[in-house]
Structure 1
Amino acid sequence: MQALLERAREPKVAAVAAGAVCAAAAGGYLLHRSLSHRYPTEGPYPAGSLPDGAYDACIVGAGPAGSTAAYFMAKGGAKVALLEKEKFPRDKYCGDAVCTPAIKILEEMGVMAELVEGNEAQFADSGGFVSPHGHVYIGASVEKIGEAAACAVKRTHLDARIARCASRAGADLREGMEVTDAVFDQSKGIWTVKTKQGVEFQSRVLVCADGATSRLASKLGYCTEAPKGVCSRAYVEAGTHNVSFDGVCFYAKESLPGYSAIFRHPNDELNFCYYLIPCGKEGMCGDVKESDLPSLHNNAIKYDPFISKALGPKAKIERMKAAALRLGCQGIKSTFDDHLLLVGDAAGHIDPLTGEGIHTAIMGGKAAAEALLAMRQTGDYSKASTKRYYKGWMKAFGHDFYMSRGGANLVYRYPILLDACCREMQRQGDAMMVKWAEVMTNMKPKTYFLQPHVAVPLAIAVVREFIDQKVLGKASAYIMANRDDDKGGAKDGNC
């Protein structure tokens, strides 16, 4: 009888033991998370301990990332040096698209009001894309979102406006200062930043914001390889083209996951740009190389039926200019270390699917400022404290990079996904266009496409498109566009 009772108790004992183990594991995990989110509360460099003439932060590069960081740092009471090797206004070759998350920060800074007042920003009220099979949708997503998903601003205007704003907030803006080296004194907790002009700056924190090629981050060992993406830009003179939309992306099959785009600037000027996204085999951007950019750019203008029709035969287009892209933290050992932060293009803060980096630069700049101001309060600038910057930009946009890389690979391998998405826009109208615009401009994460109310219609659209292309053998609209220039309408796809 006793033996039977003991056997009956065994399952109960095992269940209790298993429960205890699970509870202990869960408690340990929660404790670990709690401790990992804690930062040092005091350090060896409290406020007021700066040497005479030194700065809380020395920011190398006065682009959107560096200048945004400088603005919020200075506004929070920090002493900041903002060093720019060029003199404003100066140019930067890119697509000029500023997405909504950045627009909101620029509004907070007062910069957007200046851009609007100066007629330097064109909000995208109408836009869309052309799929690899030639399906087209151009809609007015702003009517459903309630705000423009993006606006176009020339970098000559944008960068100068943000830098001047940072200066007015109290940052020490030094133009024409080319940084050649930076040396850290461990015993004093001070960086000495050296310039080609012979002027030296001392600071508690060094912020590398000197672009995708970041000579400084490379010299310090935090950037370990050259950028693997590239983009082009060519402005189109107002009054010489046929474009009526604000922004359209063209996903030609030969350059996927890359794409070309036309964005409208104020006064009817256009920006035609081309992005090549690293994907597939090492050193490749899908099926093309970075060196193929000039031919892709020029051939698109001349021979793509949708682009050539939009631009028209009389378009006056400037010569192509190009810039490197470092996407998704490619080649970056770390974006933070003792007394050190990397922000913007220097940190590889460019979306690996869209190639857009202005909004991530501005968001990252603000995250860097918030981290520095917190460290200034505690007096600790060790890696344990600078990690709060890493967590800040990861929460703001970095968590999306993994899905973006996956999305780029999917688009490259299965172009039919873009075809199906565009056809679903044609079926649903602007309701679907809004979903696309919100995800591609970082208003919503890429995982939004996995939600049932989005994923199910898209899956059905993929099946329909597969039947059309693979079973019924319907020809690409690229071929049909050359035969029938009048096909489609404003909503159906006449570019």
Structure 2
Amino acid sequence: MSAMDIDRLREHKGVIAGALGIGAAGLAAYFLYRRRSSKRVRSNGRFAGHAVPEGAYDVVIVGSGPSGATAAFYLAKNGAKVALLDKETFPRDKYCGDAVCTPALNILEDMGVLKELVDNNEAHFADSGGFVSPSGLAYIGQSQEKLGGAAACAVKRTNLDKRIAWKARDTGADLQEGFEVGKENPVLDREKGLWTVHSSEGKQVKGRMLVIADGATSRLAMQMGYCTEAPKGVCSRAFIEGGTHNVDFDGVCFYQRESLPGYSAIFRHPNDELNFCYYLIPCGKDGMCGDVSEADLKRLHEGALKSDPFISKAIGPKAKIERMRAAALRLGSQGVPQSYDDHLIIVGDAAGHIDPLTGEGIHTAIMGGKAAAETILEMRAAGDFSAASTSVYQQRWMQLFGHDFAYSKKGAELIYKYPILLDACANEMARVGDKMMVRWAEVMTNMRPKTYFLRPDVALPLGFALLREFWAQKVSGRPDKYKTGLI
């Protein structure tokens, strides 16, 4: 090895040192987390044995998206009286990537919703998928055979949301569409233990528990003081008409260097339709998503479709692409330090239950909705709705997925600072094939925690892959396929 090679290694030693340091800290924190004891709902509360008054509900849920409607389903299924409110009328749209991950698919199957989606040709299960790294290393493999099932499926939100809301309604929840909560805050009568929620048109509903599930911008959580700032992430979506493109895979993520730790993606829907989306992930300076901001989304979205060598080739010159639409993302509990209070719980996007690395929030919304329902049912049986009991809900969603948020944030920071880490993952996939791709898919879809990458049997091969990729880029000078267009 020449003196010049040694100097190059010294210049970039932070790549490996930083990764190992964060990995060690994450591993220590993980084991501390696993040792924590579980909380329990208080027993023999002041409302034990007291049914809600005539005309009131056990639970009032504001927002009928996946989190609120899932909670409503499990509550109604177990005998609770539920008012499920939504300002819109179903079916209605929601702009996102439309990828539903395995943990949510399991719950949807239990609810009977997954069968309805499949029977109505509204779900496409992903098998052929992968990603393109910042320097243009690509891997696309087959996952279902090794996973025993798809890691995700694509479902349009207009179909997913209506199926869950209607299933909750058919199970017994009182779905009240066109109910827009007014500017007057809901009021809790602490003596009676009842919330009063007013609509902008003068209607009112009363309930023992209030569940806030009105999305990432959550006007209700903001005006009640539970959310302290506007969302900092953003995503785009544009459908591409079936039969007008050249895509032959089910789902691929594209990590363009300019927008890291964000990325773009293509997901295949039924009837050969595609969803092209772009995620900007908060990272670095306040108000920024790496080196770009929310204002750059349209430029990045349209630029990727026209100029990205991988995406433009996959889509082809005749693709019929709809106009870009965008939505806010509240990631990693941003602005919502506490998702509970007396007689109150916040779920889904309103609570920031979106992974800070992937931008995925459908599966966490559904998982959180079910956890909220289970906690409320226990409180209903015990008669205690104090913050001491509702805090159990936060502890449960932390156990399910929230503990991963800190590692996701660190992962986003690492990818932003050291894009070579993604190149190394692609390098390892190319070396060992679908086995590594499946591991990646499991972590990115919440089937395994991010700390899975710290296991010796995973971390060591990735470490060697990082060294190989470092040598190829920094010493051998391998061309960047994105920059050269050599795809």
AA partner of residue 370 (structure 2): K
SS at match of 1:323: strand
AA partner of residue 355 (structure 2): D
AA partner of residue 106 (structure 2): K
The residue that corresponds to 2:309 in the other structure is 305
SS at match of 1:274: strand
SS at match of 2:186: strand
The residue that corresponds to 2:27 in the other structure is none
Instruction: Provide the C-alpha distance between the structure 1 equivalents of 2:394 and 2:81, rounded to a whole number of angstroms.
Output: 22
Structure 1, residues 354-396: CA drift from partner, whole Å, max 9, x if none?
0000000000000000000000000000001101111111111
2:290 pairs with 1:286: yes
Instruction: Provide the C-alpha distance between the structure 2 equivalents of 1:175 and 1:39, rounded to a whole number of angstroms.
Output: 32
CA contact (8 A) 2:50 2:383 kept: no
2:171 pairs with 1:131: no
SS at match of 1:179: coil
Match of 1:145 among 111, 132, 147: 147
Instruction: Provide the C-alpha distance between the structure 1 equivalents of 2:435 and 2:162, rounded to a whole number of angstroms.
Output: 37
CA contact (8 A) 2:355 2:408 kept: yes
The residue that corresponds to 1:20 in the other structure is none
2:444 pairs with 1:431: no
1:22-61 residue pairs with structure 2 within 5 A?
Answer: 37-61=39-63
2:260 pairs with 1:219: no
1:2-401 residue pairs with structure 2 within 5 A?
Answer: 37-180=39-182, 181-401=185-405
CA shift for structure 1 position 76: 1.0
CA shift for structure 1 position 47: 4.0
Instruction: Provide the C-alpha distance between the structure 2 equivalents of 1:75 and 1:341, rounded to a whole number of angstroms.
Output: 19
AA partner of residue 199 (structure 2): T
Structure 1, residues 99-134: CA drift from partner, whole Å, max 9, x if none?
000000000000000000000000001100000000
AA partner of residue 208 (structure 2): R
Instruction: Provide the C-alpha distance between the structure 2 equivalents of 1:264 and 1:297, rounded to a whole number of angstroms.
Output: 18
Instruction: Provide the C-alpha distance between the structure 2 equivalents of 1:409 and 1:395, rounded to a whole number of angstroms.
Output: 23
Match of 2:458 among 454, 459, 477: 454
SS at match of 2:108: helix
CA contact (8 A) 1:47 1:376 kept: no
Higher Cα radius of gyration: 1
Instruction: Provide the C-alpha distance between the structure 2 equivalents of 1:138 and 1:333, rounded to a whole number of angstroms.
Output: 39
CA shift for structure 1 position 38: 4.0
AA partner of residue 55 (structure 1): Y
SS at match of 2:461: helix
Structure 1, residues 211-258: CA drift from partner, whole Å, max 9, x if none?
000000111100000000000000000110000000000000000000
Instruction: Provide the C-alpha distance between the structure 2 equivalents of 1:76 and 1:39, rounded to a whole number of angstroms.
Output: 17
AA partner of residue 351 (structure 1): D
Structure 1, residues 173-216: CA drift from partner, whole Å, max 9, x if none?
00111012311112211100000122100000100000000000
TM-score, length-normalised on structure 1?
Answer: 0.90
The residue that corresponds to 2:24 in the other structure is none
Identity %: 68
Instruction: Provide the C-alpha distance between the structure 1 equivalents of 2:471 and 2:369, rounded to a whole number of angstroms.
Output: 47
Structure 1, residues 415-449: CA drift from partner, whole Å, max 9, x if none?
00000000100000000001000000000000000
* Distance change in 2, residues 1:245/1:47 (3 Å): farther
* Distance change in 2, residues 1:288/1:117 (3 Å): same
Instruction: Provide the C-alpha distance between the structure 2 equivalents of 1:342 and 1:33, rounded to a whole number of angstroms.
Output: 23
Gaps of 5+ in 2: 1-31
TM-score, length-normalised on structure 2?
Answer: 0.91
Once the two structures are overlaid, the 10-residue window that deviates more, 470-479 or 252-261, is 470-479
Instruction: Provide the C-alpha distance between the structure 2 equivalents of 1:39 and 1:228, rounded to a whole number of angstroms.
Output: 34
CA shift for structure 1 position 479: 3.5
Instruction: Provide the C-alpha distance between the structure 2 equivalents of 1:322 and 1:246, rounded to a whole number of angstroms.
Output: 22
CA contact (8 A) 1:228 1:326 kept: yes
Instruction: Provide the C-alpha distance between the structure 1 equivalents of 2:482 and 2:63, rounded to a whole number of angstroms.
Output: 43
Once the two structures are overlaid, the 10-residue window that deviates more, 258-267 or 42-51, is 42-51
The residue that corresponds to 1:422 in the other structure is 426
AA partner of residue 95 (structure 2): Y
CA shift for structure 1 position 477: 1.2
Output the aligned Cα RMSD.
1.3
SS at match of 2:84: strand
SS at match of 2:61: strand
SS at match of 1:361: helix
Once the two structures are overlaid, the 10-residue window that deviates more, 363-372 or 44-53, is 44-53
**Deviating 4+ runs (over 3 angstroms):** none
2:402 pairs with 1:405: no
CA shift for structure 1 position 33: 6.7
CA shift for structure 1 position 295: 0.2
CA contact (8 A) 2:41 2:378 kept: no
Instruction: Provide the C-alpha distance between the structure 2 equivalents of 1:183 and 1:264, rounded to a whole number of angstroms.
Output: 45
